[in-house]
Amino acid sequence: MRIQKVPRNRTAKQPVKECVNGSSVLERHDQLVWRDYEELVLASNKETLEQLYIQHVMSPLLGPKHVDAGMRVLVTREFLEYVQKDALCQRPALRVDAAEVDAHCDSVLLLSDHTLFPQGILNGEPCIAVEIKPKCGFLPVSSFIAEENAIKRRMTRYRIHQALKLHQKEISELSDYDPLDLFSGSKERMSKAIKALYTTPQNNFRVFLNGSLILGGLGGTTGSTNFAIEEAFEDALKCVIQADDGQRTNSFIQLVSEAAYHSGILDRLLEAQKLDYCDIEGAIHAYYNIISQPCKACKNLDEQKVSHQYTSWHSIPLDESLKIVRDYLIAATAKDCSLIICFRPKGDEVSGSSYNSVYLESTNQVFEYKVYFIDLDLKPLEKMEEHYEKDKKIVNCYIQNLCGEHGVNRDVTMNNY
């Protein structure tokens, strides 16, 4: 069940209006950005807006087979208040402080549990699912990236961001995960990426057995996989992976890489992510064109550095600005979503199955699998300034804290192959 949240600190402007019957739920400038998608502009509540965004924008990009827009269900205010009370004790403290349930909404979205197959668990056959939040899988090449931010062209945003997360104690150690490996199209590098995610799941990797979490943190970030967790995980895999003690985890990592490789699902996601072709350093100028306000990004740049490139950008046709920002926002959804790959051992029955299957060589097993994208939220236009500021903060923190240290030298070498 997905329930709308509102920031606790209401000094921040609302990304979308409160649920008001009859009028568009999108803010004025968001309506402009999405004007080619009439359905979105006409949406009169947040749940319908989210559904329509997934159906009309994300589903054609990622493939309808892999996307679930959910079902809208009306609820009472008492119900939402009860959920708020109940969620308080279950959500990570950091998140509880940040947001609360929006009790003014009159509906929620119901989605299938994609860690299970639709028919549930048949004949005691187990099913195992992995949830991966891959993050951005390419290096930006936009000419708008300032010289001092050149690191962005050499290292993925995920890896640069690790420095800030470590500095803010959001994580306890740096991850070896590199999205470039996962999106590489090479089975070997994909397997290396999955292995790194398994070792340092943070909030990017979870495993569910028959719908219950067996690895990774629920809702928040989690520490590295220590020996005790490894043992328990290896043990939990017993009912799914037919291999000797000590071999099951590796086989599982192989299984996930095989499915990710054969499904081609990451190629589709990468295409959607690449709709960010200007980088935030470019798209931010188009944003100010849309809201018709003086460009704060140009104002912050050194007088001399405000090259012709930027000034001419403030005289491009509105349609062009709208397209740049719309594509940027779609890419932002694609960079922030997760995918769930759910597996179950394939039985001997001859009857056709609608699912693809994958062969796990190390255990001589065949698995059926399905892939679903989740968390395909529409990013409000207003987030553009926030993205711009955060991008600067992430790069600066990386440069100040990690440059020259051992960990970074290694990163730089790794990215120079």
* Interface residues toward Zn ion, by CB under 5 A: 285, 295, 297-298, 310
Looking at the Cβ atoms of 281 and 327, the one nearer to Zn ion is: 281
At its nearest, how many Å lie between Zn ion and the CB of residue 289? Answer: 8
Looking at the Cβ atoms of 14 and 309, the one nearer to Zn ion is: 309
Looking at the Cβ atoms of 187 and 390, the one nearer to Zn ion is: 390
Looking at the Cβ atoms of 297 and 397, the one nearer to Zn ion is: 297
Angle between helices 383-401 and 157-167 (to 10 degrees): 80
Report which of 139, 141, 202, 151 is spatially closest to residue 176, judged by C-alpha positions.
202
Report which secondary-structure segment, H or E, holds 7: strand 5-7
Contact call for residues 372 and 340 (beta carbons, < 8 A): yes
At its nearest, how many Å lie between Zn ion and the CB of residue 295? Answer: 3
Output the CA–CA distances (angstroms, integers) from residue 158 to 55, 68, 184, in the order listed: 28, 26, 15
At its nearest, how many Å lie between Zn ion and the CB of residue 144? Answer: 10
At its nearest, how many Å lie between Zn ion and the CB of residue 298? Answer: 3
Looking at the Cβ atoms of 153 and 305, the one nearer to Zn ion is: 305
At its nearest, how many Å lie between Zn ion and the CB of residue 324? Answer: 12
**Calpha distance 207→121 (Å, rounded):** 17
At its nearest, how many Å lie between Zn ion and the CB of residue 281? Answer: 10
Looking at the Cβ atoms of 277 and 310, the one nearer to Zn ion is: 310
Cα 399 from chain centroid (whole Å):
25
> In this chain, which residue has its C-beta nearest to Zn ion?
295
Buried b (16+ CB within 10 A) or exposed e, 379-394: bbbbebbebbeebbeb
Output the CA–CA distances (angstroms, integers) from residue 373 to 50, 228, 252, 301, 363, in the order listed: 14, 31, 20, 38, 28
